[in-house]
């Protein structure tokens, strides 16, 4: 399907969410475009528009903040939602009246939607949705994409080289996203498997929590490589069971993002695991974080999915017990290190 393409530089580009990644996205996009950055925080609004500063960083002169969602919908045809999964559906409901089929939405959210279910026993598997499915359900937008890959916000903000994947069923979504984002230090690749890219980006956060726990307990790089490899296998088994192509897990959105998130203390999910291994409760770790670690909720969801689809996921099972059933971290990880993985590659 091909719809009308955007006219060259006809509209500013919208970014929804002024957290660390939304702000980085706005600055990246501002190298080539005028940008409207939506924020609900009046202090952030004033900080950006008056001083061009936010999160202790300079904000590009092409970025203007707004606290009006209607302005994003009415003035921007290409929009990058960059907010946590827990509030994504409500945001889409509020944005939807200002959208039409000519819009392009490329989200950056690495999480899953479970409606209003707060308890594992009350999750309805038919209600577990990716963010692209939420966009389609809550709006008339047709051209939908997602951005995924090893994109630690602070490194991109520092101008370090990075690459990403824009995944969509529509070539024009990939083309418009690449044109808006690509720069000398930020490469953009393409994929038509949007489900695989979304699941890759969500599932790797669970393994990153386990990697943080390993580091917090003083385990070395051999153990971390072991964990990442076996965790990658669990990601692939879940993803292919849910309908994605295995290829999505072989590239930047899969193994690339997994390596970055499991290896860096800049990762929020790694930080969660590290803090728990150092003796803090999950509640204490989350209370000390300024932004959402999507992996905590994703562990809950993927444990449920694995159980219902009878997928073998020992790492996620142990993580679930540590996070939500008070299993001792060291006991849990020692169990994993002794788990009888008899076949090396068991997902092909």
- Distance between CA 99 and CA 322 in Å, rounded? 42
Catalytic residue among 122, 204, 230, 247: 204
For CA atoms 136, 139, 145, 146, the dihedral sign is negative
Residue that is written with structure tokens 């936010």 in the block: 54
Burial state string for 237-257 with b = 16 or more CB within 10 A and e = fewer than 16: bbbbebebeeebbebbbbbbb
CB 336 within 8 A of CB 316: no
- Distance between CA 315 and CA 270 in Å, rounded? 15
Q: Which of 52, 73, 53 is nearest to 61 (CA)?
A: 52
- Distance between CA 250 and CA 229 in Å, rounded? 12
Annotated catalytic residue 204: yes
- Distance between CA 175 and CA 192 in Å, rounded? 12
**Active-site residue set:** 204
């Amino acid at each position: 399907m091909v719809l009308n393409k955007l006219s060259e530089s006809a509209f500013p580009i919208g970014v929804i969410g002024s957290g660390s990644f939304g702000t980085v996205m706005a600055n990246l996009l501002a190298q080539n475009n005028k940008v409207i950055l939506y924020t609900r925080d009046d202090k952030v609004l004033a900080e950006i528009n008056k001083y061009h500063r936010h999160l202790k960083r300079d904000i590009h002169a092409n970025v203007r903040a707004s606290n009006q969602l209607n302005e994003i919908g009415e003035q921007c045809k290409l929009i990058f939602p960059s907010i946590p999964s827990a509030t994504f559906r409500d945001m889409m409901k509020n944005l939807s009246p200002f959208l039409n089929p000519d819009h392009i939405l490329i989200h950056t959210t690495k999480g899953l939607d479970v409606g209003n279910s707060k308890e594992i026993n009350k999750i309805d598997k038919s209600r577990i949705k990716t963010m692209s499915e939420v966009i389609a359900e809550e709006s008339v937008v047709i051209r939908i994409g997602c951005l995924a890959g090893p994109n630690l916000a602070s490194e991109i903000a520092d101008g370090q080289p990075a690459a990403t994947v824009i995944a969509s069923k529509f070539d024009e979504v990939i083309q418009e996203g690449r044109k808006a984002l690509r720069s000398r230090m930020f490469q953009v690749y393409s994929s038509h498997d949007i489900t695989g890219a979304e699941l890759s980006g969500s599932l790797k956060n669970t393994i990153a929590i386990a990697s943080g726990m390993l580091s917090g307990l003083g385990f070395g790089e051999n153990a971390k490589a072991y964990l990442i490899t076996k965790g990658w296998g669990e990601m692939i088994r879940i993803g292919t069971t849910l309908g994605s192509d295995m290829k999505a897990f072989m590239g930047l959105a899969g193994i690339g993002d997994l390596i970055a998130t499991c290896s860096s203390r800049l990762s929020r999910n790694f930080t969660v695991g590290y803090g728990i291994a150092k003796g803090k409760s999950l509640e204490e770790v989350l209370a000390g974080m300024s932004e959402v670690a999507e992996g905590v909720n994703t562990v809950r969801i993927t444990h449920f999915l694995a159980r219902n689809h009878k997928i073998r996921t020992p790492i996620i099972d142990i993580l679930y017990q540590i996070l939500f059933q008070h299993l001792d971290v060291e006991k849990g990880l020692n169990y994993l290190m002794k788990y009888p993985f008899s076949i090396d590659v068991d997902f092909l």
